[in-house]
């Protein structure tokens, strides 16, 4: 049981599985009540509020699971309940693991067919077995551009910089995002927070939510910020999977199938970003900077 609670706190995929297994506890309602009780306790910029809220929510959810599961197990008078719950959480991950294996193997085969097995071996030797599949995905997505960077033995952050420097990049933002009002005024996403963005352009917010695996209960993704990738050279990374908490890369989104198909390219930065344009995909409104 303790391991489940620890996994919930540290592993975003585990959080998803556990929430699924907690339907009987009215988890969503509990979160809503908690959020209402906390809203007056935050101050500072919208970014600071969002960051603190996310930290507090993880701590809250761990506590809820601890009390909720143990309480219900007593009510049902069955020690086997907790075992069954833990087993159910584990099973939730089977489809995700299978999907990941298929994606990686398909990408490896692409590299073998279009480049060579020797090149695949070179990737493994340089970047580690745990990243071979993800970097094969990178080659499949970016073609010769990605392959050339890997052949040169570039470091991962150098590869990320090279891939973004000549591109227009995109970040989708919900209409209820706390920082949207300030962003419309300044045209700048401030430094200090991990900002995800993509090299892929989506003009339909529903498609963006699915491809980028955004939670549609948290965002409608109707605003999209566009910006020049050159400003992020030396300040950008390819994230690890599971909100950058796993020990392997995720070039294209896939960690959260609950939220969509995935398959969009993704990068992260903690640098400030000066955007050139903010578009509303529903109304057509455009704000240029």
Choose among 261, 179, 273, 270: nearest CA to 219. Answer: 179
| Tokens coding 59 | 């701590």
Q: Are residues 111 and 209 in the same domain?
A: no
Q: Are residues 259 and 193 in the same domain?
A: yes
Taking a C-beta distance cutoff of 8 angstroms, is the pair 173, 197 a contact? no
Per-residue pLDDT of 270-280, as tens digits, reads: 999 999 999 99
Taking a C-beta distance cutoff of 8 angstroms, is the pair 186, 261 a contact? no
Q: Are residues 7 and 115 in the same domain?
A: no
Angle (nearest 5°) at CA 77 between 72 and 79: 85
Cα separation, 237 vs 270, in Å, equals 9
Query: What is the mean pLDDT of the segment spanning 90-96?
Result: 45
Mean pLDDT of the chain: 79
Q: Are residues 167 and 281 in the same domain?
A: yes
CATH number of the domain bearing residue 209: 3.20.170
Three-class SS string for 42-87?
Answer: CCCCHHHHHHHHHHHHHHHHHHHHHHHHHHHHHHCCCCHHHHHHHH
Q: Is the confidence at residue 236, as pLDDT, over 80?
A: yes
Worst-scoring range by mean pLDDT, 17-21, 137-141, 183-187?
17-21
Q: Which of 106, 129, 154 is the last residue of a domain?
A: 154
Q: Are residues 168 and 194 in the same domain?
A: yes
Q: What is the pLDDT of residue 192?
A: 85
Q: Which of 63, 92, 121 is the last residue of a domain?
A: 92
Q: Which residues does 54 contact at the CB level (< 8 Å), separation at least 6?
A: none
Cα separation, 203 vs 235, in Å, equals 27
Per-residue pLDDT of 57-87, as tens digits, reads: 555 555 444 444 444 444 343 444 444 444 5
Q: Which of 154, 180, 201 is the last residue of a domain?
A: 154
Q: Are residues 186 and 139 in the same domain?
A: no
- End-to-end Cα, the chain, rounded Å: 51
Strands 267-269 and 236-237: antiparallel
Q: What is the pLDDT of residue 20?
A: 53
Q: Are residues 175 and 115 in the same domain?
A: no
Domain range holding 146? 96-154
Q: Are residues 86 and 7 in the same domain?
A: yes
Per-residue pLDDT of 8-21, as tens digits, reads: 444 555 555 555 55
Q: Are residues 203 and 258 in the same domain?
A: yes
Q: Which residues does 68 contact at the CB level (< 8 Å), separation at least 6?
A: 22, 25, 27, 30
Which residue would you say has higher pLDDT here, 116 or 80?
116
**What is the pTM assigned to this prediction?**
0.68
Domains in the chain, number: 3
Q: Are residues 194 and 255 in the same domain?
A: yes
Cα separation, 232 vs 163, in Å, equals 11
Q: Are residues 125 and 176 in the same domain?
A: no
Choose among 172, 125, 187: nearest CA to 281. Answer: 172
Q: Are residues 50 and 118 in the same domain?
A: no
């Amino acid at each position: 049981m303790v391991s489940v609670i620890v996994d919930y706190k540290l592993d975003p995929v585990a959080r998803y599985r556990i929430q699924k297994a907690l339907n009987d506890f009215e988890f969503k309602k509990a979160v809503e009540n908690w959020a209402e009780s906390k809203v007056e306790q935050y101050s500072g910029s919208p970014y600071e509020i969002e960051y603190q809220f996310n930290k507090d929510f993880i701590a809250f959810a761990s506590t809820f699971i601890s009390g909720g599961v143990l309480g219900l197990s007593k009510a049902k008078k069955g020690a086997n309940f907790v075992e069954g719950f833990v087993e159910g959480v584990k099973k939730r991950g089977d489809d995700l693991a299978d999907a990941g294996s298929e994606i990686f193997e398909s990408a490896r085969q692409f590299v073998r067919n279009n480049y060579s097995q020797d090149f695949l071996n070179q990737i493994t030797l340089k970047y580690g077995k745990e990243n071979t599949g993800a970097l094969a995905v990178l080659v499949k997505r970016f073609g010769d551009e990605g392959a050339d960077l890997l052949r040169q033995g570039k470091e991962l952050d150098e590869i990320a910089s090279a891939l973004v420097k000549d591109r227009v990049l995109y970040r989708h933002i919900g209409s209820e995002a706390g920082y949207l009002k300030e962003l419309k005024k300044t045209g700048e996403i401030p430094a200090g927070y991990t900002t995800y963005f993509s090299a892929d352009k989506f003009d339909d917010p529903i498609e963006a939510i699915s491809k980028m695996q955004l939670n549609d209960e948290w965002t409608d993704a109707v605003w999209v910020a566009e910006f020049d990738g050159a400003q992020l050279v030396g300040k950008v990374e390819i994230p690890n999977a599971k909100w950058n908490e796993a020990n392997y890369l995720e070039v294209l989104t896939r960690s959260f199938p609950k939220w969509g198909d995935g398959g969009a390219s993704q990068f992260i930065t903690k640098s400030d970003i000066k955007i050139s344009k903010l578009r509303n995909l529903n109304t057509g409104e455009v704000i240029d900077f």
